[in-house]
Chains A and B, each alone.
Chain A
Amino acid sequence: MSEQAASRRETLRRGAFAAGALAAGGLLRPALAAAQSPDDEDLRDFLVEAIALEQVTVLAYSTAADADRDSRATYEGFRDQEQAHANALRQAIDGLGFDAPDAPDSPTDTGVLDGVDGLDADAVKRLTDQLDALDKAKTPEQFLDLLTSLENEQLTYYAGQGPALDSSDLSTTSAEIGSCQAQHLVVLGQQAGHSPGAVASSVAATAAKAGSDTSP
């Protein structure tokens, strides 16, 4: 690992990322990009899939908000929270000197998932399938099912992948975002006719299973 890459990674790992490391990363990006280390790629891989998933979810909430007037306010609020997640994660990957995937501008814009460094074929297929489901969704119930599926996928991802990251900041942020997705699921579950208590217990079980499935 080069000295520059080691230093940048230590900055992220030690929690010093918050205060200007991103700005410095932006200024130094051309040099750092050439010095990326294999270890950095672990963090990149986590971030790339998280960003792609967040951005697909943003599009899904936007589309659902236009299609379901009764749920518009809720969906727009959740869309903004998903966008806040995507923004934060994009800054993290930029600080590492890697490229983030572009956000899809429509359900058929699957090309944004092609050739993205760090995004494996399985993830591309899952995300493409979600975009395809979004393209086909017409009724409020179909949108609700799709949003619930996306939120569950995110919850599983953050609960399963976040703890193993070699960055205290990213592990913490992953838990914060996963907790937000859990709260979204409680609201979506109520819209589907379930009691909030039952949904909360189900969400807790999903998080626990995701953690145990990926724990070393």
Chain B
Amino acid sequence: MLTVSRRGFLALGGTGAAGVALAACGTAADPRADASADQLTEAEASAETALAAAYGAAASALAQGEERAALEDFAAAAAKRAGEFGGGSAQAGETPPADGGPDSPEALDGAIRAANKAIAAHREAAGLLDAVDGRTLASSSMIACAAELAAVSHFAGKPEAPLAFVTGGTEAPFESATETEATTTSSTSTTSESTSTTEQP
């Protein structure tokens, strides 16, 4: 029997608490009709611009090598994505300071935070933009950021894929599912994911 867990309810309520509120009142407006495409796209552009700066800072903090080369590639990719969304301005605090910048752990943490912010911005646009091509670009950009985040997490010695649902935000729409349907031949029949937050560490 399929066990209906709270995770499942909320996993598909992309708006989390907002979705609950909408259902409770029963007068939900169409979120796509009400969303501002300009605001959503601008947020994506700004987040990607900040991400490019954060990757650049992290690359500068590392010695020459494979990791630095990867971060430089990621910075170029993020800048390209920012351009696809119409450009954007770097957010305060994301630009490397003039004193030589952060050390490498700090710089990698900064890149992880910036990647999560970009994922959150793309996630919102992937659901709410009215135009399919806008949602397509948001979705593929989100996936690109998630892959980069996994690589940067690896560089930082952190888990690459800790969450079943990647959201990039601090909102916690999913709760640990401890009861799931046993659908495999494995002796393990429960979902062991134990995350309580949706922001990848």
The residues of A with any CB-CB pair to B shorter than 8 Å are: 11, 13-23, 26, 55, 58-59, 62-63, 65-66, 76-81, 83-88, 90-92, 94, 103, 105-106, 155, 158-159, 162-164, 168-180, 182-187, 190, 195-201, 203-204, 207-208, 210-212, 214-216
Q: Name A209's closest neighbour in chain B (CB-CB).
A: B140
Q: A175–B30 contact, CB under 8 A? A: no
Contact with A along B167-191 (1 / 0, CB 8 A): 1000001000100110111101011
A40 CA / B192 CA spacing, docked (Å): 33
A199 CA / B151 CA spacing, docked (Å): 8
Q: A196–B144 contact, CB under 8 A? A: no
Say whether chain A's binding surface is mostly helix, strand, loop, or mixed: helix
Of A15, A184, A185, A214, which one neighbours B15 at CB under 8 angstroms?
Answer: A15
Q: Name B5's closest neighbour in chain A (CB-CB).
A: A87
Q: Name A171's closest neighbour in chain B (CB-CB).
A: B127
Q: A58-B183, A86-B183, A168-B128 are in contact. Are A18 and B165 (CB under 8 A)?
A: no
Q: A77–B192 contact, CB under 8 A? A: yes
A175 CA / B123 CA spacing, docked (Å): 7
Point out which of B30, B119, B135, B154 has the most chain A C-beta atoms below 10 A from its C-beta.
Answer: B135
- Chain B residues near A83 (CB, 8 Å)? 180-181, 183-184, 191
A45 CA / B24 CA spacing, docked (Å): 28
Measured CB to CB, the closest approach of chain A to B151, in angstroms, equals 4
Measured CB to CB, the closest approach of chain A to B138, in angstroms, equals 7
Q: A186–B160 contact, CB under 8 A? A: yes
Q: A88-B8, A169-B13, A195-B70 are in contact. Are A187 and B136 (CB under 8 A)?
A: no
Of A18, A184, A212, A214, which one neighbours B10 at CB under 8 angstroms?
Answer: A18
A15 CA / B11 CA spacing, docked (Å): 11
Q: B19–A17 contact, CB under 8 A? A: yes
- Chain A residues near B4 (CB, 8 Å)? 22-23, 26, 91
Q: A180–B23 contact, CB under 8 A? A: no
Measured CB to CB, the closest approach of chain A to B194, in angstroms, equals 10
- Chain A residues near B10 (CB, 8 Å)? 18
Of A76, A78, A171, which one neighbours B135 at CB under 8 angstroms?
Answer: A171
Of B12, B73, B142, which one neighbours A197 at CB under 8 angstroms?
Answer: B73
Q: Name A107's closest neighbour in chain B (CB-CB).
A: B185
Is B201 close to A, CB under 8 A?
A: no
